[in-house]
Structure 1
């Protein structure tokens, strides 16, 4: 998702776009992979001295609720990335650097066959490990 699309989507949900929120979205549109709230605070700190975790988390969860950011949990900590909306896919996520690689294979056909009498409302499929760069480091 591009920055302009994210800001537009945020406004369409009735939220005000501020410089701080646009800086948060800029960070995620430029980041390669999942990032933590601490990563974001380190990025924002030079511009917004003393920015609180509460402010950061509130905005991260709001962006996630609106569908601008996706979340995953790595080592017990929530990580965020800009949403991929161009087509259905899943991700390999590097546990070291947080970079992702799209996986176009979806196991849902097999799961739907196994759960024929169940109502499936959604799914998330992620594979975790180390990317080639982190393996060679």
Structure 2
């Protein structure tokens, strides 16, 4: 999802696309991988003196709720990234820097036969470790 698509989605759901909300979208659009609320607030403090965690969390929750951001949990902390729903895939996530690599293989393809009497409503598959840049550091 790009910034224009995200803004259109926000507006279609009845939300305003304020300058702050656009800056949040821009941050995640440029980020390579998952980022925390702390990462975002550190970035926004340069432009918005005194921005609160409440404001950040409200917007992160809103973006996640409407489908702009996807989230995961790593070491007990929630992380976010722009939703990349153009095709079905999963992620390798670096434990050190949060960068992601798409994985096009889906383990559900193999599991569907063993769950034939079940109604599957969704799934999530993530692999955690160190990316080549962090592994060599």
Cα deviation code 1:80-123 (max 9, x no counterpart): 00000211110000010000000000011222211111111011
Once residues 70 and 79 of structure 1 are traced to their aligned partners in structure 2, the CA distance between those partners, rounded to angstroms, is 8
In structure 2, the residue corresponding to 1:112 is in which secondary structure?
Answer: helix
Once the two structures are overlaid, the 10-residue window that deviates more, 108-117 or 26-35, is 108-117
Once residues 2 and 29 of structure 1 are traced to their aligned partners in structure 2, the CA distance between those partners, rounded to angstroms, is 7
In structure 2, the residue corresponding to 1:51 is in which secondary structure?
Answer: coil
Residue aligning to 1:43: 43
Counterpart mapping for 1:1-137 below 5 A: 1-137=1-137
In structure 1, the residue corresponding to 2:112 is in which secondary structure?
Answer: helix
Segments of structure 1 that go 5 or more residues without pairing to the other structure are none
In structure 1, the residue corresponding to 2:35 is in which secondary structure?
Answer: coil
Give the C-alpha shift of residue 59 in structure 1.
Answer: 0.4
Query: What TM-score, normalized to structure 2?
Result: 0.98
Cα deviation code 1:11-48 (max 9, x no counterpart): 11111110000000000000000000000000000111
In structure 2, the residue corresponding to 1:46 is in which secondary structure?
Answer: coil
Once residues 131 and 46 of structure 1 are traced to their aligned partners in structure 2, the CA distance between those partners, rounded to angstroms, is 29
Once residues 58 and 124 of structure 1 are traced to their aligned partners in structure 2, the CA distance between those partners, rounded to angstroms, is 24
Give the C-alpha shift of residue 128 in structure 1.
Answer: 0.4
Segments of structure 2 that go 5 or more residues without pairing to the other structure are none
